[in-house]
Structure 1
Amino acid sequence: MRFRRISTTLAGASVLALSLAACGTAEVGGGGGGEGEGEGDRITIGVKYDQPGLGLLEGQAPVGFDVDVATYIAGELGYSPEQIDWTEAASANRESFLQQGTVDMIVATYSITDERKNVVDFAGPYYVAQQDILVAADNDDISGPEDLDGKVLCSASGSRSANNIVDSEEDGGLGIGAELREAGNYSECLELLGNGTVDAVTTDNTILAGFAAQNPDAYKMVNNPFGEEKYGVGLPKGSTERCEEINAAITKMWDEGVTTEYLETAFGETGFAYAEEQPAVEGCA
């Protein structure tokens, strides 16, 4: 898969623009069916509210790459931006929201895993991220996961990013002896990193790039990616037809070059190298 480093032509937008990422584009759908052509009058979509560049609450509405992707997909399903009800979907409650009918779908850096597929359905992936590490801006001791041995590592509740580092190789991890500190979300991890309670934060490079760009004087990515995280659109179990519709929308979004526009808008001048090509969508059960 080819990667492209984010263009520096967005220099004027830089850090301030990131926290406002996609503010305008969040209301642009995919140009699919007109108002009222969806299955109901409205659609409820779960996104993150605390991840700069991906899903960040600005005023009354969230903005970011995932929000733009969700708005495009909703447009292809026949819902205008005005027919979308946004709901905060933290990592720990994504499955329960889908199982309980709190949301119709979730677009929230939701990695497709076999374990999760036992209880929910996924369309996509619409993007494949890699895992990386965020440290304090003046930390030169940590340049990769191998340097986390004996260090305190933070990850958000409901995420398995830290386990990818500390679990044994037999269990699919790297077997590195870091001490885990779990926080409610990644904003809390950033607070712990800022006050020195933890030495590093680990999760997807998309998430970390947003936080690093929001406060570059305080934090930096080590830019040593590893692993793979396939971002899917979470759906209630048994949503085969809707899954196929969303996969078609994802393919169209990439074919039209809209996904690249969203990535450029969302991440600004972060140095984050994003994937240029659509990942292969997985079959719908």
Structure 2
Amino acid sequence: MKKTKKFIGTLTLTLLLGLMVGCSSENDKKSDSSTDNKSTSIKKIKDSGVIKVGIKEDVPNFGYMNPDTNKNEGMEPDIARLIAKELTGSEDNVEFIGVTAKTRGPLLDNGELDMVIATFTITDERKETYNFTTPYYKDEVGFLVRKADKFKDTASLDGKTIGVVQSSTTKEAIEKQAKKLGVSFKYQELGSYPELKTALTSKRIDAFSVDKSILTGYVDDKTEILKDGFSPQEYGIATKKANTELNDYLNELIKKWEQDGTLDKIYKAWNLD
């Protein structure tokens, strides 16, 4: 009986120790895995040999899919290519994925993108969800109108229908400016900038509003951008909130390119101030 009790006690102690070691080992694995996910994001990109970048394809000078060459053109694809060169050794090692204001966040969230470089305006609200680098471009909101309508400024659009892209911050910015001026607007929200330009041409809207530099890509002989500008906009490269290592790395690149004139060369190449 005593031997049986002693054997049971020894067996119980052995099992408990085994469970403790197993749990500790499992926790260590989870901790290591968690750390690995955060600390090797850059390494994973380098190992894969390609970066996946969300860019616009309908914004001339910023992010545009040229139908003649079937290539992505603009300031933002150029920045992405420079990042690819830094991370993988070649500007060609970048996979471009077209995004809109509505899809860029979800595509970043589900891991289909490593980063978004797509006229993504930095706001306090968005910084709660994503990491943003220091701004690589600064702009302001404006209006594209038909010359024949002879609108002179923002106030002259009182009561008119303004076209804005879905899920952008433009409407909010316009509303703030409207309150300052004591005017009001109606709105039509569409999915893309080309749709808004078509709506302006067909007189379904009275003005197409977004950041002025974006509007420059849609000016023609019958349209003009009003001189009025408001609500300064800053564009940053967005990454997942937990991916601080990649954000810090990209942030240093933007700062370096701002100081050494690299960004200025890109602006000039695409006729951007």
- TM-score over 0.5 (shorter chain): yes
- 1:11 is matched with none
- 1:221 is matched with 225
- 1:16 is matched with none
* CA displacement 1:37-78 (0-9 Å, x = unmatched): 825321110100001111110133210111112222332333
Q: Does 1:40 align with 2:83?
A: no
Q: Work out whether residues 75 and 81 of structure 1, in 8 Å CA contact, stay in contact via their aligned partners in 2.
A: yes
Q: Does 1:154 align with 2:158?
A: no
Q: Does 1:126 align with 2:136?
A: yes
Tell me, what secondary structure is at the counterpart of 2:218? Answer: helix
Q: Does 1:242 align with 2:246?
A: yes
Tell me, what secondary structure is at the counterpart of 2:159? Answer: coil
CA distance in 1, matches of 2:153, 2:47: 47
Q: Work out whether residues 166 and 175 of structure 1, in 8 Å CA contact, stay in contact via their aligned partners in 2.
A: no
Tell me: CA distance 1:175–1:249, structure 2 relative to 1, closer, same or farther (3 Å): farther
Q: Does 1:137 align with 2:147?
A: yes
Superposed, 1:43-82 pairs within 5 Å as: 43-58=51-66, 59-82=69-92
CA distance in 2, matches of 1:124, 1:69: 14
CA root-mean-square deviation: 2.1
Tell me, what secondary structure is at the counterpart of 1:131? Answer: strand
Runs of 4+ aligned structure 1 residues displaced above 6 Å come to none
Report the TM-score when normalising by structure 2: 0.77
Q: Work out whether residues 50 and 84 of structure 2, in 8 Å CA contact, stay in contact via their aligned partners in 1.
A: no
Deviation at 1:188, TM superposition (A): 0.5
Deviation at 1:248, TM superposition (A): 1.1
How many residue pairs get aligned? The number is: 228
Deviation at 1:87, TM superposition (A): 0.4
CA distance in 2, matches of 1:99, 1:255: 31
CA distance in 1, matches of 2:126, 2:45: 30
* CA displacement 1:202-225 (0-9 Å, x = unmatched): 11111011222xxx2132111222
* CA displacement 1:139-195 (0-9 Å, x = unmatched): 322x3222221001000011121221125888xx76631100000111100000001
Letter matched to residue 173 of structure 2? N
Q: Does 1:99 align with 2:109?
A: yes
Return the match for 2:200 from 165, 184, 193: 193
Greater Rg, structure 1 or structure 2? 2
* CA displacement 1:261-283 (0-9 Å, x = unmatched): 2112212xxxx7x2xxxxxxxxx
Deviation at 1:134, TM superposition (A): 0.7
Q: Which one has more relative contact order, counting CA pairs under 8 Å at least 6 apart?
A: 1
Tell me, what secondary structure is at the counterpart of 1:125? Answer: coil
* Larger helix percent: 2
CA distance in 1, matches of 2:170, 2:73: 24
